[in-house]
Amino acid sequence: MTDHGFDLLDRQLVQALMIDGRAAFSRLAAALETTDQTVIRRYRRLRGAGLLRVLGLPVGDRVGMHESRLRIQCVPGSAVAIAEALSRRPDTGWVKILAGGAEVGCMVSSRSSEEHEALLLQKLPGTRQVTGVSAQSLLHRYTAGPGHWLGPAELGEEQIQALVPPEANRGDTVRLDDFDDAMLAVLARDGRAGYPELAKATGRSESTVRRRLEYLRGAGALTFEVEILPVHLGYLTEAALALTVAPGALAEVGRALAEHPQVPFVAAVTGATNLAATVLCTDRHALYTYMTEGIGALPAVHQLEVVPVLRHVKRAGLLSDGSRLFDPPR
């Protein structure tokens, strides 16, 4: 089931962009066995309708960011206001209101430990409507690679391999400068922004911008993500998972969950539970089936908490600029 008239070619294009969100239209067209003009027209229609966008985002652990997954307990009736205030911060992503309507979940990525501590120790605790905050630091992401597709497989193996970008060469932490910040500000709004636009924003030449972008990507410091509402791929139910796993089996379970098509995010974390994940299902019955059969097939999982997501206020990118991508599905 899909929404808004997504046909096979639309879904193939979305999957192709999830593999390489920056791939040239000609390369996408060759992999999809169609014309450049058709791919351009399809992409512009989906993006123009607010159904899809590609974002270029820094990879937190590769650029020295401090990342935490927060759960914020609120006074009843205040969750929307708190979620909206968090969404306006440039260091937050995936701001969502959780089941019960009195809890907000989000991801915080701060450029310095001082900024991180100020939010956790001063700003949030000092907010009258906040009654409690729990924070888990991200230790390792298991769903970090490109091309994690949530729908039924639409591309063949040869098509996928034709689009997979070169593997990143992860070395020392990459330090970002003002030039990088200016370029990333543009890519955070449009990961497919052209080199002339990036050059204008940074005050550098197109060749310099191209080299730097390729360096950041090759170093694993820059990734391209596709934002699309799960409802367009047939997923109507979303939940946050908190799992307690035997330490010796943590990596095994994390990798197993990352292979599940319903799971767009899974990471090892600090705290009372040591594995955090997000699951997308077609409906609540499918969520039950996933809990009993998907999670149930992993004997190393000792405890599971499932918290349904009521509403997304902010996804991976910046605060809504009026794009319908961020409106609740009708």
Residues of the chain with CATH 1.10.10.10: 8-57+151-227
233-310 CATH fold: Alpha-Beta Plaits (3.30.70)
Residues of the chain with CATH 3.30.70.920: 60-141+315-320, 233-310
pLDDT at 227: 87
Opening angle at CA 221, ends 220 and 222, nearest 5? 95
What is the C-alpha to C-alpha distance for residues 252 and 154, in angstroms, rounded to an integer? Answer: 27
Residue 263's Cβ-count burial label (10 Å; 0-12, 13-18, 19+) is buried
Q: Does the domain made of 60-141+315-320 have the CATH classification 3.30.70.920?
A: yes
pLDDT at 1: 41
H/E segment holding residue 29: helix 25-32
pLDDT at 329: 33
Tokens in use for 294? 């998907």
Residue ranges in the chain modelled with pLDDT below 50: 1-2, 318-330
pLDDT at 327: 37
Backbone phi and psi for residue 115, each to the nearest 5 degrees, phi listed first: -60, -40
pLDDT at 85: 92
What is the C-alpha to C-alpha distance for residues 39 and 45, in angstroms, rounded to an integer? Answer: 10
Tokens in use for 37? 């003009």
What is the pTM assigned to this prediction? 0.82
8-57+151-227 CATH fold: Arc Repressor Mutant, subunit A (1.10.10)
**Helix, coil or strand: residue 283:** coil
pLDDT at 233: 82
> 58 and 221 in contact (C-beta within 8 Å)?
yes
